[in-house]
Amino acid sequence: MFSSNKNNILLVSILFVLIGIFLRIYQLNFENYWLDEMTSFWAADPSLSLEETFTRSNNFHTPPIFDLLLKKYLEFFSYDPEIGRHVPLFFGILSIPFLGLLSYQVSKNNSFLLSIFLISINIYLIKYSQETRPYTLVFLLSIINLIFYYKIISTDFTFSKKIFFFILFVIFSVITFSTHPFTFILLFSQIFYSLYSFLLILARS
């Protein structure tokens, strides 16, 4: 009975993920590039040197990490606008199961299915998954950052494991905060919560 229920939960979660994948792929290149997409595509020209790519990204005050990943992808396949949209699509799809994992870590119940369903049908996340811009990468890295942060503050792990998770947390934090200035909101929130938790422990002791 337990095994059957577990299998049903797995099937439902896979179904929701597939729905999210379909909605992101459907009419992927229906619309033409808009101005911001053009700047990313322009900066990611594979024929440019790394210095020129950095310069073009900086000209539009855009952190270059996404442009560099896009550049490598276009260099491997083809410098084509339609192919360029595969990169944010990939990050957008990966965000679905990772958010489900984060939700399960927090709740430890089947409510993670609702999280997967909501992220799968979210119109904004679908739209960003179809734009050659860094937002799906920012979203994915923020989720991973929160996964490791939650592992650090959780009481379910030994000290040695927390050290390991802390190292991963620092690595992904640096990468995350290098993708977009808005991610510093995440950093300040984590600092504030950590200080609050520390003061709460002191007050109880």
Query: Is the residue at 80 inside a domain?
Result: no
Q: pLDDT of 6-49, one tens digit each? A: 888 889 999 999 999 999 999 898 888 888 888 889 999 999 88
DSSP conformational letter for 33: P
Query: Is the residue at 189 inside a domain?
Result: yes
Query: Is the residue at 161 inside a domain?
Result: yes
Q: pLDDT of 130-178, one tens digit each? A: 999 999 999 999 999 999 999 888 877 777 888 898 999 999 999 998 8
Average pLDDT over residues 79-99: 95
Which pLDDT belongs to residue 97?
96
Average pLDDT over residues 186-193: 88
Query: Is the residue at 141 inside a domain?
Result: yes
Contact 88, 160 (CB under 8 A): no
The beta-strand segments (E) located in 38-143 are none
Domain count, the chain: 1
The beta-strand segments (E) located in the chain are none
Which pLDDT belongs to residue 23?
95
Largest CA distance in the chain: 62
Query: Is the residue at 198 inside a domain?
Result: yes
**Better-predicted residue by pLDDT, 101 or 56:** 101
Domain of 193? 134-205
Q: Is the pLDDT of residue 120 over 70?
A: yes
Average pLDDT over residues 183-192: 88
Instruction: Look up residue 198 and give its two tokens.
Output: 């520390």
Q: What count of other Cβ atoms lies within 10 Å of the Cβ of residue 57?
A: 22
